[in-house]
Structure 1
Amino acid sequence: MKLFFGSIIIVIAGFSVNKYVFSNKAYDGVTTVTDIIPTYPVDMFDFKKTMQDYAHHLCYKNEDTLISQHVSVSECISKLDDKKTECEKKVFRLAPLNLESEVEVLDYSRQYTQCTLPYKYILG
C-alpha cells in the first residue's frame, strides 16, 4: 500500500515538475519560434527538436484556451505525441537540410504547429 501511494506521489511530482519547471521556463517570453533561434542557417534536425519542445510548451501556455474547447493539457500533449511522426513526414519531407532565413523558419513552424495542434486560437 505504501508503494502504491509512493508511486502516485512520484508521478504527480514528475508531472508538476515538467509542467511548471521545464516546459514553461524554456520558452518564457517567447512569442514565435524565431525568438528561440539566434543564428542562421538552422540545422533541420535541431529545428525539429525545437519545434517538438515548443509545441509541448504551446499546450501548457494555452491551457485556458484548450479548456474552453473542452480539451485538457494532457489530451493536447497526447495528440501532439500521436501526430509527431506523421506531421514531421508531411511538413519536412521536402525541406532543405538547413533553413536559411526567418521566413522559412516561420513557415515550417506554422505548418508543424497547425498539423500537430489542430486547435483553434493556440497562440505562439
Structure 2
Amino acid sequence: MAAFTVDRAFSGFSVDDIAAAKEFYGTTLGLDVEDNAMGFLNLRLPSGGSIFVYPKPNHTPASFTILNFPVADVDAAVDELITRGVNTKIYSDEEFASDERGIVRGGGHGPDIAWFRDPAGNVLAVMQA
C-alpha cells in the first residue's frame, strides 16, 4: 500500500476573519460550511469535495481566483449576487473590459465571467458553463 495517496486531497486558503468568512460563504453564497475541531472551516461542495478555510493573522488576499463557480446563466447569477450585497465589478475596464455589473464577455476566447471578493479580499468568480 502506498504511503502517498491522492484520494482525499483538498484545497485551502486563508482569511483574516473566520466569522466573517463563515457568514459570507454560508449565508451570502449558500455553501455548506462546517466548523472543524481546530476552529477552522470546511466548505462542503455538492460534488463531494471540500475546501479548508483557515485564519491567518498576516493574511494577504489572493490576487488570483481561488474559487470558480460555473453557472448556467452568468447574467442571472451576477444579478442574484448583487441582490445579496456582493460587488461583482472589482476590476477597472483598463484591467478587464466589462459591463456595468462586471461581466467580462469571452467572445469566443473564454467563458463570460465576473469576479468578486470575499470579506478577506480573496478573488472568486462566476463563469458561464
Task: Say which structure is richer in helix.
Answer: 1
Is this a same-fold pair by TM over 0.5? no
TM range, smaller chain = under 0.3
Which one has more relative contact order, counting CA pairs under 8 Å at least 6 apart?
Answer: 1
Normalised to the residue count of structure 1, the TM-score between the two structures is 0.26
